[in-house]
Amino acid sequence: MLWGEYAVLAGAPAAVLAIDRRATCTISEATDDLFHLRTRGFESPDLAVASLAASQLPAQAALFGWAAGALQRLPQTPMSLELDTSDFFRGGIKLGIGSSAAALVACYGAMQHLLHEPFDLARAIAAHRAFQGSGSGLDIAAAWLGGLVRFCQGQAEKLSSVRLPALRFFFSGHATSTGAKLSQFAVWRERGRVEPLDDLAVASAELFDAMTSQSAWQNYVQCLQALDAAAGLGIFSPGHAALTRVAATLRLIYKPCGAGGGDVGMAVCPVGVDEDALDEFSRQAERLGFQSLQLAGTLDGLQYEP
């Protein structure tokens, strides 16, 4: 997620970038009358079940059930499904770069292709929300479409011929719970006095017309910090806050991506700033315990192979 976190839940447009880490779902013929489920990445025991109905599956296989539930009808012919999300983990720790969304899109996409159904974004978003408990669905849109996506109120547009600033991504070393952050955010919104959220929504919309502008990025991060302070979300954990200060000394911008508190953050090099500053930032980030992630955007979304 490049920008728009939390603001997207208030109806503001957000920007999400598909990256070159892939989840794959392989379907093969079953040799009996059961559905065989296997995972790599988020490890769970191999299972053999009579139905893909979510209500009949154990918790560790829930994603298969919700992906199947996005179909117009549940598969009746037994099959073997293997879901691989190992690209989204480092040393057994989930990186926080959209693994569950990629996994659901891969699983749902494989089954809808096999059953000759069209891909339905709204159904996929609803399935992922049921699986995860919350979320806007923008990560589903990015996994499906690929590239840079503008997402707003359930509608996704793949942007082309767009110039993004130079970006670097960093892993904090520990995962965070998106669901817990969003629950806390929802409680805060119900109390009213959401002016910081309104300001963040405006800043998010403005970035689409000023993607390389230092002042637009600074304004967005300041609005995100104000929301964090008002709602007590812990978006800017001590590590993220330290990197925000480091970035300022180098004329760069730094922000957590997504729910914040852990997972991934992003350094932005606006136009007019020497990109060598990103190298120095990377060195300082690593001294603070962050790990550089070799991530790049990709134009490819959901793909099928025979």
Residues 135 and 56 placed together within one structural domain of the fold: yes
Tally of structural domains, the chain: 2
Residues 31 and 138 placed together within one structural domain of the fold: yes
Residues 105 and 169 placed together within one structural domain of the fold: no
What pLDDT sits at residue 72? 96
Q: What percent of the chain has pLDDT over 90?
A: 85
What pLDDT sits at residue 174? 84
What pLDDT sits at residue 44? 78
Is there a domain that residue 65 lies in?
Answer: yes
Residues 224 and 289 placed together within one structural domain of the fold: yes
Residues 202 and 283 placed together within one structural domain of the fold: yes
Which residue among 111, 145, 179 closes a domain? 145
Is there a domain that residue 178 lies in?
Answer: yes
What pLDDT sits at residue 161? 86
Quick: pLDDT tens for 188-199.
Answer: 999 988 999 999
Residues 173 and 139 placed together within one structural domain of the fold: no
Is there a domain that residue 10 lies in?
Answer: no
What pLDDT sits at residue 211? 95
**CATH label of the domain that carries residue 30:** 3.30.230.10
Between 42 and 198, the higher pLDDT residue: 198
Is there a domain that residue 234 lies in?
Answer: yes
Residues 29 and 97 placed together within one structural domain of the fold: yes
What pLDDT sits at residue 95? 83
Is there a domain that residue 4 lies in?
Answer: no
Residues 125 and 94 placed together within one structural domain of the fold: yes
Which residue among 113, 145, 177 closes a domain? 145
Half-sphere exposure of 160 (CA within 13 A, CB side): 3
Is there a domain that residue 155 lies in?
Answer: no
Residues 103 and 178 placed together within one structural domain of the fold: no
Quick: pLDDT tens for 175-221.
Answer: 888 888 989 999 999 998 899 999 999 999 999 999 999 999 999 99
What pLDDT sits at residue 134? 83
What pLDDT sits at residue 179? 82
**CATH label of the domain that carries residue 203:** 3.30.70.890
Residues 239 and 209 placed together within one structural domain of the fold: yes
Residues 203 and 274 placed together within one structural domain of the fold: yes
Least confident range of 23-27, 50-54, 87-91, 105-109:
87-91
Mean pLDDT of the chain: 94
Quick: pLDDT tens for 224-246.
Answer: 999 999 999 999 999 999 999 99
Residues 181 and 263 placed together within one structural domain of the fold: yes
Is there a domain that residue 304 lies in?
Answer: no
Is there a domain that residue 269 lies in?
Answer: yes
Rounded CA-CA distance 244/255 in Å is 7
- Using CA atoms, how far residue 17 sits from 73, 180, 225, 237, in Å, is 31, 23, 22, 23
| Residue 140 structural domain | 24-145
Q: Of 218, 185, 188, 186, give the one whose Cα is nearest residue 203.
A: 218
Structure tokens at 252: 């760069």
Which residue among 145, 179, 208 closes a domain? 145
Quick: pLDDT tens for 244-284.
Answer: 999 999 999 999 999 999 889 999 999 999 999 999 999 99
pTM of the model: 0.92
